[in-house]
A and B are shown apart, each in its own frame.
Chain A
Amino acid sequence: MISIANLHFAYRRRPVFSGLDLELRPGHIYGLLGRNGMGKSTLLRSIAGFLFPQQGSIDVLGHVPRRRQPAFLQRVFLLPEDFYLPPMALERWVTLYSVFYPRFDHGQFRRAAAGFELHTDGRLDQMSYGQRKKALICFALATNAEVLLLDEPTNGLDIVSKGQFRKVMAGAVDENKCIVISTHQIKDLENLIDRVTIIDEGKILFDQTIDAIQERLVFRLSYDPEETAGAIYSEDSFRGSALILPNMEGEDSRPDLEMLYKAVMLRGERINGLFSKISKR
């Protein structure tokens, strides 16, 4: 679905990617995690055809994104962090813009809007930033674009809306869609994404499915100093030490993405080594 090979990109003299390779498949919600300024938005905009590779290639659904052909733009939707909506009634906006998307589903738009408790009879220029963002998320889902790229979608959403976002998104994925959510607010994506891709300094540091993470790592609280000493990563808390350990016994645990992210940043080689060791067996 999305195939990136040897991607090089730099802003003037600041290199962002130098030889990035990445494959994204349909039927997944990818969580693209990374620090600010590490290339998450650049990657999304390159996939959507708004930035052009200086070297290497990007193939999205058999299209070259930089050509921005209508057939490509109908199938790929980018929800940017900074977005523009014209000053008009929401319903009018949906009517005018939806005609460009042959698979646009008005029923789906209304259902998503209901999920967000968004009133569709208002004007876009009189809505708050969060409401406008919800409207755009609903629109993005209703386009039924096969590739949905969301850049920091939970920024500007309140706590209740973040929960609604997870619910709405979970109902949107199917085996033909590939959803990529870029964020540095990792907690917002828990229980939503099924694949974690961590990007740093223009490189993919970690790229595994949640199932594989659960299979190979254990996330647990412990008071045992010996166990803590043997952990791949540990964090002290009031409830004891939060640990990430190799999953030797096939234990079931819920991955803590924030901890995983920190562990990858600090002990990336060890974690990746663990994954590659097991996959070689």
Chain B
Amino acid sequence: MTKGQYFSFSRFHQLVTLHWGSQKRLYLLALPAIAGLLVVWGIFLLFMDNYNPLDDGMQAFTYYWGLALVGCLYSSTIFAGFGSKAHGIAWLGLPASALEKLLCGLLFSTIVVFIGFAVVFYLVDIPLVKIGNELIERQHRVWPGGYPVAPDVVWNLFHGLPGKNPDSDFHVLLVLYFILQAMFALGSVYFERYAFIKTIIAFLVFALVFLVLEKQVFAHILPYGWKPFTLTNDWITNGETLRVKEVRVSTWITGPLAVLLLLGIPPVFWIATYFRIKEKQV
């Protein structure tokens, strides 16, 4: 085995430079387009809501739906070139390893898109929240009970979900974003055409099969009273109705297990994508 055949920093750097050099126009055009859509959406909210048009819940909603849509759309195209003979030969024939090609694709589809979207979001969000607060102040808005409407604050995406535990810095939606990204990246290398749509269909089919298995198979295998989906707790009943004892798997097991499951899914998709790139034929 020749040295550096799996990974070389200099080659990875060359690959990143090449990707940016050939795709920067797309990225730079996408940023104002996304900003424009966010502005339109923000203005719509300012017109529609007389109280807190841009409260933290709405900002989080806008951020995550926007990120999911932009991220998944972009991820579903990142390796789509492999589907065409001409693109596939150009990309697979480039003297870099499958790992370097995968990491370069993930860097742009996951990290760069995430950072780019966050920057554009705040560039639009901060002025819109300010405008919204000025409207609240100028129009002396009050709730129906006569209480003055409090100004909105800019939502911090690294803090917990609005209305949830504010001390929590583990953000489940951010992890879900990485799961979605990883899934759509795999879809882009797996499906030669219409990767975005086909990935959604594949996900829905998988979810359906999982739910059917969970309800029809696993539920019957588990002891009486156990819930198959959560596998965390239930009541042991005495006879038909009397609940006498709650049985719960310890949180020191369920907590890390949940984290492991959530954080473990993206690497599983990434590994599958790696082997798919490695075994791709044109």
Contacts and interface: CB of A to CB of B under 8 A. Distances in A.
Interface string A48-87: 1011100000000000000011110110011010111111
- Counting contact residues on chain B (CB < 8 A from A), the size range is 20 to 34
Contacts of B11: 70, 100
Contacts, number: 73
Interface in B1-23: 2, 4-5, 8, 11, 14, 17-18, 21-22
A96 interface: yes
B84 A70 contact: no
A267 interface: no
Given A73-B93, A82-B86, A84-B87, A45 B2 contact: no
A69 B2 contact: yes
B104 to A, nearest CB: 13
Nearest to B278: A68
Contacts of B4: 70
A101 B11 CA distance: 11
A216 B282 CA distance: 40
Interface in A129-149: none
Contacts of A71: 2, 5, 95
Contacts of B97: 69-70
A92 B96 CA distance: 19
A88 interface: yes
B90 interface: yes
Interface string B148-183: 000000000000000000000000000000000000
Contact of B95 (A73, A86, A92): A73
A53 to B, nearest CB: 11
A139 to B, nearest CB: 11
Contacts of B22: 86-88, 96
A8 B70 CA distance: 44
Contacts of A73: 93-96
Contacts of B14: 99-100
B94 to A, nearest CB: 6
Contact of B93 (A48, A86, A99): A48
Given A51-B282, A96-B17, A96-B22, A68 B98 contact: yes
30 contacts: A48-B93, A50-B92, A50-B93, A50-B281, A50-B282, A51-B282, A68-B93, A70-B4, A70-B11, A70-B95, A71-B5, A73-B94, A80-B86, A82-B86, A83-B90, A84-B81, A84-B84, A84-B86, A86-B22, A87-B22, A87-B25, A88-B22, A92-B21, A96-B17, A96-B18, A97-B18, A97-B94, A100-B94, A100-B96, A101-B95
Given A70-B95, A84-B81, 8 more contacts: A51-B281, A52-B281, A70-B11, A71-B2, A80-B89, A84-B86, A84-B90, A96-B17
Interface of B: 2, 4-5, 8, 11, 14, 17-18, 21-22, 25, 81, 84-90, 92-98, 278-279, 281-282
List of 5 A-B pairs having minimum Cβ-Cβ separation, nearest first: A73-B95, A84-B86, A86-B22, A50-B282, A84-B90
